Chains A and B, each alone.
Chain A
């Protein structure tokens, strides 16, 4: 049965969707605008919207005061590194849960997810002490490992969902064809799950990129990524909104651009398995 959608309803929903979209987008837009203001305009009351003297001086200041390329490089290494390491561990884990489940598989999956509900600060001290003892504080290796551990449950869950969509008979056929477990995962499962794996990688890079708690607390200088870079602008000498905004824009720009170009893949990935 075709649903009767009146023009009036259509207009209403469209307006509502736009309003909601703009509301979500507003903070980013405001940050973007502020980053081009002088510090004085940035805190003026009532706020100035579009008609001010646009300036790039904040971006220049930010560049001069700190090492953006280094923070960017750290962010890339930590986000990509932790995601790839996570995938490496999660593929076999998700394979076994999807294709040779035991009575406890569901419990294990839920338990893994429950670790995400643990307040991160609860393990802060043990982790810091451990890192110090190992001598890896403020190192990229530490952050790669920590962020991988934090996102691993999500990676496993996502891959598990994708793998479940793959008919077991195809894997059995490969076993009959003489494939070893390694061959089966490498030549049959992985290529078939590639769209799902790609979405998982994208999403987890975003999650790792945005992760602030651990990245700020476990780094000082050497391994400091963009999150730390932003935080350094809300410094003791007071808040400089314009500079903070410029730093924020610089930090989120790469991931925003990546997200924009991979929208389709992300949406597909997140709804994969929802529709059969």
Chain B
């Protein structure tokens, strides 16, 4: 259970086509992340799968059955929203019970399921509180609890962590991954945060303007981005992309080098530049280099700490086999 496939699915709002014809297969048990800049259509795509938006054309099938015309309730999916979307007038218990009540389960069965979910999510002590009395992380757990009890064939997450502070976000990220390990249920997760995408996904779907730019495992995307957009979007700090004569030397329109694939020296190297801002993270140092004559600003990532003062001259050398080449259309040259 949990195979979802999209066949030539499109979506238009009025005259504006936000999703041009799109095909995608999601396999049972996969953790799939839709990632892309805001407005790329990733949430719309998720809502199409959920049934909260109608497709303009094309077909969506869930577990082999055509679900294109099915209402959300009949698709057997559960969704966790960015705003949590808890029912503010109901206690935590009633919130989690709601889908069970709608399914017509008897009281005893409801209680058993609620207690199990509450235990798994550390919510047992909060069952009688209202959502307004909970912290952001607890609310998010209630939303997840409400999704779990339905035993859906797939979970849909719409930027579930963006309302949480950074520390909590990392914790919840782990919890969701643990949950996936435990339940082995298909999960589709929408985020604009490529770190979330890289750490959580079995399969990442990179979207731009409603078009799938690449589908692949996090490391495939990192090591072999299909085009300049994916190359720039995956990886932090961003990949340095150099055009012009320097790229032509490598028979490419654009060459890309990730910040971590540059070595620095104070005395010699392939490219010369001037240190701008250096960000010391302790474990790493990000140096922003100006005046290389190659691009506005190059970023270098050095493991550990390194002394680099504003205005210092610095030499950069790319690691030979870590260079990405792109043609005039921005596509990867193998």
Specify which chain A residues have a CB less than 8 angstroms from the CB of B82 in the assembled complex.
Answer: 169
Known: A178-B73, A178-B102, A180-B73. A172 touches B88 (CB 8 A): no
Specify which chain A residues have a CB less than 8 angstroms from the CB of B130 in the assembled complex.
Answer: none
Q: Which of B72, B86, B87, B89 contacts A176 (CB 8 A)?
A: B72
Task: Contact check, B81 vs A173: say whether CB atoms are below 8 A apart.
Answer: yes
Task: Contact check, A174 vs B98: say whether CB atoms are below 8 A apart.
Answer: yes
Task: Contact check, B88 vs A173: say whether CB atoms are below 8 A apart.
Answer: no
Per-residue contact bits, chain B 81-113, to A (CB 8 Å; 1 contact, 0 not): 111011111000000001100110000000000
Is A149 at the interface (CB under 8 A from chain B)? no
Partner-A contacts on B (CB < 8 A): 50-52, 71-73, 77-79, 81-83, 85-89, 98-99, 102-103, 146, 150
Once bound together, how far apart are the Cα atoms of A36 and B173, in whole Å?
Answer: 75
* Interface contact tally, CB-CB below 8 A: 60
Once bound together, how far apart are the Cα atoms of A169 and B160, in whole Å?
Answer: 13
Count class of interface residues, chain A: 10 to 19
Is A192 at the interface (CB under 8 A from chain B)? yes
Is A222 at the interface (CB under 8 A from chain B)? no
Given A176-B50, A192-B87, A194-B89, 17 new contacts (CB under 8 A)? A167-B83, A169-B83, A172-B52, A172-B72, A172-B79, A173-B79, A173-B85, A173-B86, A173-B146, A174-B87, A175-B51, A175-B52, A176-B78, A176-B79, A178-B102, A187-B98, A192-B88
Task: Contact check, A191 vs B89: say whether CB atoms are below 8 A apart.
Answer: yes
Q: Please report which residues of chain A, range 172-206, place their CB below 8 angstroms from some CB of chain B when the two chains form the complex.
A: 172-180, 183, 187-188, 191-192, 194
Specify which chain A residues have a CB less than 8 angstroms from the CB of B88 in the assembled complex.
Answer: 170, 192
Say how far A191's CB is from chain B's closest CB, in angstroms. 5
Task: Contact check, A179 vs B85: say whether CB atoms are below 8 A apart.
Answer: no
Specify which chain A residues have a CB less than 8 angstroms from the CB of B81 in the assembled complex.
Answer: 169, 172-173
Say how far A179's CB is from chain B's closest CB, in angstroms. 5
Specify which chain B residues have a CB less than 8 angstroms from the CB of A178 in the assembled complex.
Answer: 73, 99, 102-103, 150
Q: Please report which residues of chain A, range 106-142, place their CB below 8 angstroms from some CB of chain B when the two chains form the complex.
A: none
Once bound together, how far apart are the Cα atoms of A183 and B102, in whole Å?
Answer: 8
Specify which chain A residues have a CB less than 8 angstroms from the CB of B98 in the assembled complex.
Answer: 174, 177, 179, 187
In the complex, what residue of chain B is closest to A193 when comparing beta carbons?
A: B89
Task: Contact check, B79 vs A188: say whether CB atoms are below 8 A apart.
Answer: no
Say how far B139's CB is from chain A's closest CB, in angstroms. 12
Q: Kindly list the 3 A-B residue pairs having the minimum CB-CB distance in the complex, ordered from nearest.
A: A178-B102, A173-B85, A177-B99
Once bound together, how far apart are the Cα atoms of A261 and B247, in whole Å?
Answer: 79
Specify which chain A residues have a CB less than 8 angstroms from the CB of B73 in the assembled complex.
Answer: 175-180
Task: Contact check, A177 vs B83: say whether CB atoms are below 8 A apart.
Answer: no
Known: A167-B83, A173-B79, A173-B81. A179 touches B102 (CB 8 A): yes
In the complex, what residue of chain A is closest to B89 when comparing beta carbons?
A: A191
Specify which chain B residues have a CB less than 8 angstroms from the CB of A183 in the assembled complex.
Answer: 102
23 contacts between A and B (CB under 8 A): A167-B83, A169-B83, A170-B85, A170-B88, A172-B81, A173-B81, A174-B87, A174-B98, A175-B52, A175-B73, A176-B50, A176-B52, A176-B73, A176-B79, A177-B73, A177-B102, A177-B146, A178-B102, A178-B103, A179-B73, A183-B102, A187-B98, A192-B88
